[in-house]
Amino acid sequence: MHKKQARKEFDDRRGSASERGYNHVWAKARATYLRRNPLCVMCKAAGRLTPANVVDHIVPHKGDQELFWDTDGNWQSLCTTCHSMHKQRLERSGGC
């Protein structure tokens, strides 16, 4: 199976963003979280101060609503670059 076809099948199985919980409630919670945690945690760990614009689930929730809404233990603020690199690493290792 080609990568493009495999990706399409994966996307079809996982459902739309709203079906996965990314709705208006999420948008409000995300905005609040980013106001309270405005810096990318990965950049900060590397000594850089970069504004965050993504709320990342540290452990993929895979539909688990408790994990999805675990703001204290499973959310982190990231910049787009770190989020993309982080997710690519996870996907390559089979973690996502």
Rounded mean pLDDT of 60-69?
Answer: 90
Q: What is the pTM of this model?
A: 0.73
- The residue-averaged pLDDT of 44-62 equals 94
The Cβ of residue 82 has, within 10 Å, a number of other Cβ atoms equal to 23
Q: Compute how many other C-beta atoms are within 10 angstroms of the C-beta atom of residue 38.
A: 13
Answer yes or no: is pLDDT of 61 > 80: yes
Closest CA to 57 of 25, 92, 21: 21
**17-52, pLDDT tens digit by residue?**
555 556 899 999 999 999 999 999 999 999 999 999
pLDDT above 90 (res 94): no
